[in-house]
Structure formats: C-alpha cells, structure tokens
C-alpha cells in the first residue's frame, strides 16, 4: 500500500479534484493512454489521471497487450468512446492483427470498447456469466430500444475448471476462472513466461474493495480469489490489478487482513443488533483509512465514500449468509 504520509499531504487536493470530477462526469476527450512495458512483448495501457470520477487515479480499466509475430492478444477494452486512442496506442506497439480479446469482468470500464476490436477481427473470450451479464437487456428505461452493439459480446465462453490456454508469441496465456469475487464472471489472465498476472478488480489499491453483488460478486469469493492468487503467484510475479499500481503477492496479505478485520467488526455489530446505517456510522474502517488512498473519496456507485460502500457490502453479505 502507499505511504500514509504522502496520502495525507495530497488528500485535500484530491478531494477538491474529486468534487470537480463528479460535477463533470467522465471527460473522454481528455483521456490520454499511457503505455508501460512489463516484459519483452507484454504492455499495459492505462488512462490518464483526474478525468474519470470513478477512477481519479487513472481513467477506465487497464488494458493488457501481448504483441508479436503471431498477432496481438488484448486483455480488456476500456470505454467505447476512446477506442481510437486505444487503437493508436496499440499501433505504436505493433501493427499486426488484433486476434484475441479477453475480458477480466463485465464492467463497462473494461468491456464497453469490445465492439471496436471485434470489428477489427478480434475474437472475444470471457466467462459464460460475463456474456450473460452483457447480453441482459437494458432495464434503465421501460420499453427502451437496446442500442448496444451485439459485436461487443464474447464469442468464446468458458466456465469454472481448468484454465483456457492460448499459445502465441512464445508465451502461454492462461485464462484462469475465478469463483464469484468482484463479479460472478471474473477471469485472471496469467502470462506464464512474463511471470505476470492481470487479476482484474477483486484487488484494488485505490479506494476500498468493491464487490459487485448485483453482478454476482461475493465477499467469500473475493477472499478465496486473493488466496488463489497468492497460491499461483511466485515471489517475483507481477500482479497487475485492473486499476492502480502493480503489486506482488506479499501486498495481498495486508489487503486480505484488512477485509477480514472489517468483516470481524461488522459481524460483532450485527451480533449487537445494529442496523446497516448504524454499522456504516460506526466507521469501522477508521484504523485503515490512512493506508487506503482514495478510501474516503465518493464512490461512483452507492452514494457514499468507497469505505461506506464497502461496509454496506460486508454487512449485506454477512446478513445474507446467516
């Protein structure tokens, strides 16, 4: 996790920026794509800071690009509105065909751009649950015509069980299914030779954990996913979250311990008969707030801070499990 002191110094300015960001929404025209090389043929693309209220640390979800003579494999596709910028960034790496696209999970900051790359010939891989989630009709307005492009839907789907393996560019890419964690259709993407794993969003180091139970995520599954990651990862494995900074397996321990501690406190308060609002008001994350950058910023869903959203989720998961 980041240094607490640096966080305190910048907290006030971050809050001011966040308030301004929420007023403006996602400023797609201001998003720039940054490219980072993590292995000889593996690159990570991320959006720039302070233009996406849900992700002030970097707009949208991170994209992975495995390049080489066998063509390109992409992990996730960012927002639809910035497809041209993502394509430009990929073209700077490699002019070859984009053959495969894998989605880590269903959220729009990772999948909304799918159609752009499908139309360039990419075959989209994802969990069956993810496809079901994306194919569900829009429910925002009664009788609304669904204008979403069917090209964005995964073509090849898989369930739990053995990883799907793709061999290309001297790399073995494993699509490792994760039991219901951040969502019900999470996949970790492991690049065996590069010793890197894109873990998606069940781990994050900006804001408190977000477990999307409306899309099939679960607290128990997220804890299992963290354990699974620690088992799979070697001491030098680069763990690459969908948002935030790269980590290695030892960084997962304090993160998991924080979740367990909050879970324990919420459990105690439930045993005392406290309501959800009373549990949120008890500020059970306080001992960790200084170590979680962005933890007290407004969350993009749920109407409170990311700490509040996290505590509400823990409460409802524990209540539901009784």
Residues between 65 and 124 that touch Zn ion (CB under 5 A): 107
Which CB sits closer to Zn ion, 250 or 301?
Answer: 301
Min CB(215)–Zn ion separation in Å: 9
DSSP, collapsed to helix, strand or coil, labels residue 46 as: strand
Q: Tell me the closest approach of the beta carbon of residue 124 to Zn ion, in angstroms.
A: 17
* Helix, strand or coil, per DSSP, at residue 24: helix
Which residues lie below 8 Å from residue 215, measured CB to CB, with a gap of 6+? 105, 106, 107, 133, 183, 184, 185
Nearest residue (CB) to Zn ion, 129 versus 201: 201
CB of 108 to Zn ion, least distance (A): 9
**Tokens standing for residue 28:** 């797609």
Instruction: Give the interface size with Zn ion as a residue count (CB under 5 A).
Output: 2
Instruction: Name residues contacting Zn ion, limited to 144-203 (CB under 5 A).
Output: 201
Q: How far is the CB of 265 from Zn ion (least distance, A)?
A: 25
127 part of the interface to Zn ion, by CB under 5 A: no
Please tell me what DSSP assigns to residue 73: E
| Residue 233 contacts residue 248 (beta carbons within 8 Å) | yes
Strand ranges inside the chain, DSSP E: 33-39, 42-47, 63-66, 72-75, 98-102, 123-127, 156-158, 164-168, 171-177, 187-191, 196-200, 238-241
b/e map of 245-263 (b: 16 or more CB within 10 Å)? eebebebbeebbebbeebb
Tokens of 172: 């073995």
What value, to the nearest 5°, has the Cα angle with vertex 157 and ends 153 and 160? 135
Least Å from the CB of residue 284 to Zn ion:
23
Query: Nearer Cβ to Zn ion, position 169 or 300?
Result: 300
Q: How far is the CB of 106 from Zn ion (least distance, A)?
A: 8
DSSP state of 237: P
- Residue closer to Zn ion, measured from CB, 20 or 301: 301
Alpha helices per DSSP H over 239-293: 249-271, 276-281
Nearer to Zn ion, 171 or 186 (CB): 186
- Beta carbon nearer to Zn ion, 103 or 116: 103
Nearest CB to Zn ion, comparing residues 214 and 272: 214
Considering the complex, what minimum distance in angstroms separates the CB of residue 105 from Zn ion? 5
| Shorter beta-carbon distance to Zn ion: residue 26 or 284 | 26
302: left (phi over 0), alpha (psi -120 to 50) or beta: left
In the complex, what is the shortest distance from the CB of residue 291 to Zn ion, in angstroms, rounded to a whole number?
22
The interface mask with Zn ion, positions 197-236, x = CB under 5 A, is ----x-----------------------------------
- Chain positions contacting Zn ion, by CB under 5 A: 107, 201
């Amino acid at each position: 996790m980041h240094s607490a002191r640096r966080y305190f110094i910048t907290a006030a300015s971050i809050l001011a920026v966040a308030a301004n960001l929420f007023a403006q929404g996602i400023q797609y025209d201001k998003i720039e794509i940054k490219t980072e090389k993590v292995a000889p043929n593996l690159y990570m693309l991320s959006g720039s800071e302070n233009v996406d209220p849900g992700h002030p640390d970097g707009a949208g979800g991170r994209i992975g690009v495995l390049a080489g003579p066998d063509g390109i494999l992409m992990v996730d596709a960012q927002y639809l509105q910035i497809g041209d910028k993502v394509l430009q960034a990929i073209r700077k790496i490699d002019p070859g065909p984009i053959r495969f696209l894998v989605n880590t999970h269903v959220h729009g900051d990772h999948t909304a751009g799918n159609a752009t790359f499908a139309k360039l010939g990419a075959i989209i891989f994802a969990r069956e649950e993810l496809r079901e989630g994306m194919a569900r009709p829009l429910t925002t307005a009664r009788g609304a015509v669904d204008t979403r492009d069917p090209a964005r839907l995964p073509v090849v789907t898989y369930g739990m069980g053995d990883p799907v393996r793709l061999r290309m560019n001297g790399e073995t890419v494993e699509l490792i299914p994760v039991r219901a964690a951040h969502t019900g259709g999470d996949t970790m993407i492991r690049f065996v030779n590069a010793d890197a794993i894109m873990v998606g969003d069940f781990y994050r180091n900006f804001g408190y954990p977000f477990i999307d139970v409306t899309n099939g995520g679960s607290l128990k599954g997220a804890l299992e996913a963290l354990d699974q990651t620690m088992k799979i990862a070697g001491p030098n494995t680069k763990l690459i979250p969908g948002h935030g900074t790269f980590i290695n397996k030892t960084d997962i321990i304090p993160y998991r311990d924080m979740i367990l501690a909050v879970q324990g406190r919420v459990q105690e308060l439930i045993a005392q008969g406290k309501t959800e609002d009373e549990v949120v008001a008890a500020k059970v994350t306080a001992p960790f707030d200084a170590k979680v950058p962005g933890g007290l910023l407004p969350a993009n869903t749920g109407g409170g801070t990311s700490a509040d959203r996290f505590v509400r989720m823990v409460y409802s998961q524990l209540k539901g499990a009784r």
